[in-house]
Structure 1
Amino acid sequence: MATRAVTAATIGTALEWFDFTLYGTVAATILPKLFFPSMDPTSALLASLATFGVGLAARPLGAIICGHLGDKLGRRNLMLGTVSVMGLASVLMGLLPTYAQIGIWAPVLLVLLRIVQGFALGGESTGAQLMALEHADPARRGKYSGLLGLCSPLSQILANAVLLLLSSVLTPEAFERYGWRLPFIISFVLVIVGVYIRLKVNETPAFVQLQKTQVAQAGSPLRDAVRLHHRTILRLMFFFCGPAALFYLIVVFSLSYITKDLGVPKQTGFMLLMGANVCAIVGALLGGMLSDRIGRRKALALGSICTLVILFVYFGVLATRSFFPMLAIMGLFLGFTQFQSGIHPVWFAEAFPTNVRYSGSALAYTGANLLTGGPMPLVAVWLVSVFHGSPWGVVAVCAVLNVISLAMILTSPETRGIDMNRVDPASAVGGPR
């Protein structure tokens, strides 16, 4: 069942991330012209990337509601709901008329569908992680966490591969007219696959054990997470602000930067991102497995220090416009960023007792994406414009976030080997009877 759980969590989450990251790619390349044609190119790009950020902004709401329900009703039930909602929103996005067809309603509906996508993903990410990790052997939780960490880069590879294929076989006019829509529409098939896989997985042992305690009846997960574990939530949130910002800097802003500012062809940009995400998959797996051997804190600190060093040479190497140096630096940067993301699921899960684990983990994870992940592409475009094409403003902001992240790692307790079946007795105190 542990193997089945991590398979279901990994495949299901990768399918949902495929939809979400596919939007990030088209937001940086196609959507400005189709949904914001009345603006100048820079303003249209900013508006398009802002709709990407709206999806991330909606994730905390999904985390709050789904986290509370997941701690009350179980991990499995929520996972079936989130994958269905995500897929439906993506199909509707693929069928959405453009500004030329329905005017201002086009970007309005686009934003609404992004909110629905973000809500679903806000509940999905943490729930899938807990479904796998609460089934896992304590000695292999890091490995399972690394498998979960590869969902995002795997989806990036799939999304960029599909767009690269379509942009190669279709004329630019055909790709702009209907080609970009096809991956969103086939999400209907992905929904069926995701639901089928998750129906085969049992509820987690930790949640089943929780249901036998007084805390399950007396506690209020969301209230108890904020009331009793707010310091842990804030510490983990500020930690993940660094990796979240760097991830979206690389996979969303970098594509816009190298194609628009450096003049690299779109197909080359897609290929660079695909190669970088292969490195990210390796990084996620290595990070998770290393954390089983040396502990979560040491492994995270290693990844954080490496991203800080790479940050200062990243844009300089991109400026060479040479394919292999660009591929190497993007691969290293995204690889060490995802090295940390391969550890964060188990680190977050181990930090909370079962009765508030979904709520606490989701709040910390989505809070970081709200603060820095979603805004990062938008802020980066603005900073490059303010500094007249220079990326050093972006580097300075990301360096500060990276240092804050490293400080949170170094001041946190080690969690490797902690009991995942524990509950917090204080949650029953003052709760409803």
Structure 2
Amino acid sequence: MRVSEPEGQTAARRLETTAGDTEGGSATPTARRAVASGALGSALEWFDFSVYGALSATVFPQLFFPGMEPGAALLASFATFGVGLVARPLGGLVFGLLGDRFGRRNVLMATLLLMGAASVLIGALPTYAAVGIVAPAALVILRFLQGFALGGELTGSQLMVMEHSPSRRRGIAGALMSVGSPISQVLATVTLTALAAGLSEEQFISWGWRVPFLMSVAIIAVGYYIRHRVEETPAFLAQEEKPARPAGGLLREHWKTVGLLVLAWAAPGALYYITVTFATSYLTGQLGFERSSTFGLMVVANSVSVSASLLGGWSSDRIGRKRVLFIGLALLLAFLIPFFLILDTRNWWLAAFAITGALCGVQFMTGCQGAFYAEALPTPVRYTGSALGLTGGNMVFAAPAPFLATWLMQISDNGTLLVTAYGLLTILVSGVAIKLLPDRTGRRLAD
């Protein structure tokens, strides 16, 4: 006589196997739709964040901190940039807890609206010349809200894709998500390059820099439509059928894993902002590159790095996540050591080569980051734990990177040796943490 399973267990088993988290390698239509909507939605949100990063290294010092010495103004501008990264762990924690409790899809709608609203307000913000100290104070608050929203968006959009994807294609699915960052960086840089080339210096500083932020009205509309069409993940729906356990207790069981995930992102987090945000300031402020020329260089570097991200995700499905991460660290090491020596040649093509190589190392690792982090934790705390791991790494290592690099250069008479040493330290930290983390490539998330 056949004994039937309880209804709850049957529902849970059906949910866990319907959306591609299987041993097979074919993606369902739902999984493909989740990847497409996740990548597009993430790219739209990263656009605003990327625009801010470029402007914090160029025009924000004179617009919001005009009474300071140029070096101090740049440090202050980078400090506001870092506020967005510091806010990410708090956003990751809050939205992670909400996502683990109420679902990934609902939270992602909220992060999109918050990011868009903060960005539009930055575009409408008066400068220091108009309202005094209120301007930089408001800029800090709005930048915090940007980071808070992105802290929930980063992991939420990844998990939406991971929990819809087949086990053997989770790496490439995550890579398709990760290219949202370099693609948005390209779009942001192209937009700023076009504005800088088409407007006079006075026009760009007066109102041209506001245009990308005000475009967020359209971004909100497109992003909302995209997100609205995505279904909730089967892993979360299956979890709802099981007895609830306190997220705090589960996190206490996995605190070591979360801590190692924070440390694992030291090198890619810090070196991304050193080779993009700090390098932009170094090229224009120290080496005399024109702003439009520097923006164009970043377009080339970020465009090429997209293929590195896809290659990293694809490779991780075949050779394992940890091997890909160690290859990425090796690439970063190879380009970091001569990085500033190459930039100091003042040759545009050599500078493009150095920055492109470093970014390819970062993006090669980013290609498998989503899968590596998702596979490290169980479903009940996957959103919260993954968000704390990634955003915590960005807060500790990425947020202070442009500020710290600028300060290290200033205390060493504009030398870059200490900046390089800091980069080498982050590579060592990441290498040790990755070594200690498990590699669960190809295993079902339910396991």
TM-score range (shorter-chain normalised) is over 0.9
1:202 counterpart residue number: 231
Contact 1:242/1:405 (8 A) holds in 2: yes
Aligned residue among 120, 126, 129 for 2:149: 120
1:53 counterpart residue number: 82
1:430 counterpart residue number: none
Task: Report matched runs for 1:39-78 at 5 Å.
Answer: 39-78=68-107
2:409 counterpart residue number: 384
Consecutive unaligned residues in structure 2, runs of 5 or more:
1-29
Measured in 1, the distance between the counterparts of 2:322 and 2:88 equals: 26
Aligned residue among 88, 107, 110 for 2:139: 110
- 1:249 is matched by which residue type in structure 2? I
1:312 counterpart residue number: 337
The CA deviation string for residues 68-118 of structure 1, in whole angstroms up to 9 with x for no partner, is 000010000000010010000000000000001000000000000011111
- 2:160 is matched by which residue type in structure 1? M
1:38 counterpart residue number: 67
Contact 2:251/2:381 (8 A) holds in 1: no
Contact 2:320/2:441 (8 A) holds in 1: yes
Q: Is 1:146 equivalent to 2:171 in the alignment?
A: no
The CA deviation string for residues 301-325 of structure 1, in whole angstroms up to 9 with x for no partner, is 1111111121101111111111111
- Percent of aligned pairs sharing the same letter: 44
What SS does the aligned partner of 2:57 have? helix
Displacement after TM superposition at 1:58 (Å):
0.7
Aligned residue among 211, 220, 223 for 2:246: 220
Aligned residue among 281, 285, 288 for 1:256: 281
2:217 counterpart residue number: 188
Displacement after TM superposition at 1:328 (Å):
1.1
What SS does the aligned partner of 2:222 have? helix
2:301 counterpart residue number: 276
Displacement after TM superposition at 1:418 (Å):
1.9
Measured in 1, the distance between the counterparts of 2:434 and 2:141 equals: 36
Contact 1:354/1:421 (8 A) holds in 2: yes
Displacement after TM superposition at 1:168 (Å):
0.5
Q: Give me the TM-score of the superposition, normalised by structure 2.
A: 0.92
Aligned residue among 412, 431, 437 for 1:406: 431
Aligned residue among 409, 412, 416 for 2:441: 416
Aligned residue among 79, 85, 88 for 2:114: 85
Displacement after TM superposition at 1:410 (Å):
2.1
Measured in 2, the distance between the counterparts of 1:158 and 1:177 equals: 22
Measured in 2, the distance between the counterparts of 1:107 and 1:285 equals: 38
Displacement after TM superposition at 1:421 (Å):
2.4
Q: Is 1:337 equivalent to 2:366 in the alignment?
A: no
2:386 counterpart residue number: 361
Displacement after TM superposition at 1:411 (Å):
2.4
1:4 counterpart residue number: 33
Q: Give me the TM-score of the superposition, normalised by structure 1.
A: 0.95
What SS does the aligned partner of 1:96 have? coil
Measured in 1, the distance between the counterparts of 2:64 and 2:348 equals: 31
Contact 2:305/2:360 (8 A) holds in 1: yes
Q: CA RMSD in A?
A: 0.8
- 1:200 is matched by which residue type in structure 2? R
Consecutive unaligned residues in structure 1, runs of 5 or more:
423-433
1:164 counterpart residue number: 193
Measured in 2, the distance between the counterparts of 1:220 and 1:22 equals: 39
What SS does the aligned partner of 1:136 have? coil
Contact 1:305/1:406 (8 A) holds in 2: no
2:55 counterpart residue number: 26
Displacement after TM superposition at 1:413 (Å):
1.8
Displacement after TM superposition at 1:225 (Å):
4.2
